[in-house]
């Protein structure tokens, strides 16, 4: 049976399931049409654009200098060199082999703190009694992970949105559980592979990365599986579905990898604060900060007496 691959499909949105702006409507088919009836010209233009995109992708793949930035959510590059077995059909049950192939490469200058995977064997996708159902928990490094399925029935079909949830491991000292730090965070690369238990070559996967924190503890893919489509129905076998998640925890020595800076406290993290932009003052702000970190210049400024020092004849020198 033909495999279904969607690990690099840009139409699979990555959103927070608790986001109030989430639209759970089904996405339409990508089609070419014309309101004025001139479909032949539009189809020819569409084919030309498709060929151009394919040529650009081939050029990028053969260019050794082409590298994706660590913030890119999706990558075509493999974290291990391809081997002779890569030409064989995909098998979703070969976990050790799939882990480095389905995850994005580790960002440059960073290291992995640990990798792992877990498979949730769902006996009946229609058997979920609640809208949100957590899967089995597993540990990678100092963090606990589990899949979270949002199950939604739409008339005569079913949609499954799948997310990865993360929490730090509770530390126990002398039999007492310590409070989890309120400012914990963990950057994670992950991939979710949905596959047919009776035919592991029939599968659908997507991958991403995210910085988990107390603000957002789950992240994933809306409508990863929909029984509305023929391909997704091939992945489900008599109501059974396997979900395998691959996880890599990144050692973030910078403290800001994939940070959205919504609740960032620079003084707490670095001992310094920035300068607010008052409107087109960013250039002046950067100049002032450059002056401040030029130690000789800063000391010269400190030696300029203030008005009070002049009035009260205060003899003060900087250290």
Q: What is the DSSP string of 91-159?
A: -TT-HHHHHHHHSPPPPTT-EEEEEEEEEEEES-GGG--SSEEE---EEETTEEEEEEEEEEEETTEEE
Give percent of the chain with pLDDT exceeding 70. Answer: 67
Phi first, then psi: give them for residue 265, nearest 5 degrees. -110, 95
User: Taking 70 as the threshold, does the pLDDT of residue 79 lie above it?
Assistant: no
Answer whether residue 46 shows pLDDT above 50.
yes
Is 50 exceeded by the pLDDT of residue 240? yes
pLDDT, residue 243, reads 97
pLDDT value at 211 more than 60: yes
**In the predicted structure, residue 226 carries a pLDDT above the cut 80:** yes
- Give residue 75's pLDDT: 30
Report pLDDT digits (tens) over 264-316: 777 877 888 888 888 889 899 999 989 999 999 999 998 888 887 777 776 66
Domain residue spans of the chain: 14-25+32-251, 274-311
User: CA 241 to CA 66: how far, in whole Å?
Assistant: 38
Ranking 8-12, 40-44, 123-127, 285-289 by mean pLDDT, the lowest is 8-12
Q: Dihedral sign for Cα 241, 227, 163, 170, please.
A: negative
Q: Which CATH architecture has domain 14-25+32-251?
A: Sandwich (2.60)
Name which residue leads in pLDDT, 209 or 18.
209
Radius of gyration from C-alpha coordinates of the chain:
26
Residue 228: pLDDT over 90: no
Inter-axis angle of helices 282-292 and 295-302, nearest 10: 90
Is the model's pLDDT at 221 over the cut of 80? yes
Q: What is the structure's pLDDT at 70? A: 33
Q: What's the confidence (pLDDT) of residue 172?
A: 57
- Give the Cα separation of 249 and 106 in Å (integer): 10
Distances (CA, A) of 161 to 14, 95, 104, 132, 149: 10, 22, 21, 9, 6
Task: Name 153's bridge partners.
Answer: 158
Average pLDDT of every residue of the chain:
76
Sign of CA dihedral 176, 182, 187, 192: positive
């Amino acid at each position: 049976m033909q495999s279904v691959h969607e690990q690099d499909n840009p139409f699979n949105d990555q959103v927070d399931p608790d986001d109030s702006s989430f639209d759970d409507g089904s996405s339409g088919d990508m089609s070419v049409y014309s309101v004025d009836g001139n479909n032949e010209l539009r189809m020819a233009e569409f084919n030309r654009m498709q060929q151009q995109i394919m040529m650009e992708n081939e050029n990028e793949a053969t260019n050794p200098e082409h590298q994706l930035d660590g913030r890119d959510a999706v990558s075509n590059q493999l974290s291990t060199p391809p081997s002779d077995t890569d030409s064989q059909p995909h098998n979703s049950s070969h976990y050790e082999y799939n882990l480095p192939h389905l995850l994005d490469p580790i960002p440059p200058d960073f290291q992995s703190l640990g990798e792992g995977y877990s498979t949730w064997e769902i006996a009946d996708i229609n058997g979920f009694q609640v809208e949100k159902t957590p899967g089995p928990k597993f540990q990678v490094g100092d963090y606990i992970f589990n899949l979270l399925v949002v199950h939604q029935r739409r008339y005569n079909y079913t949609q499954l949105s799948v997310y990865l949830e993360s929490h730090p491991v509770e530390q126990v000292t002398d039999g007492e559980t310590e409070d989890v730090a309120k400012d914990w965070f963990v950057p994670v690369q992950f991939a979710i592979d949905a596959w047919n238990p009776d035919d592991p070559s029939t599968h659908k996967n997507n991958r991403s990365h995210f910085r988990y924190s107390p603000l957002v503890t789950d992240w994933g893919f809306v409508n990863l599986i929909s029984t509305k489509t023929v391909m997704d129905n091939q992945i489900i076998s008599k109501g059974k579905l396997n979900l395998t998640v691959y996880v890599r925890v990144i050692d973030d020595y910078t403290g800001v990898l994939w940070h959205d800076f919504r609740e960032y406290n620079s003084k707490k993290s670095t001992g310094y604060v920035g300068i607010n932009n008052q409107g087109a003052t960013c250039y002046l702000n950067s100049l002032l900060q450059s002056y401040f970190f030029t130690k000789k210049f800063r000391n010269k400024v400190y030696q300029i007496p203030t008005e009070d020092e002049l009035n009260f004849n205060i003899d003060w020198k900087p250290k």
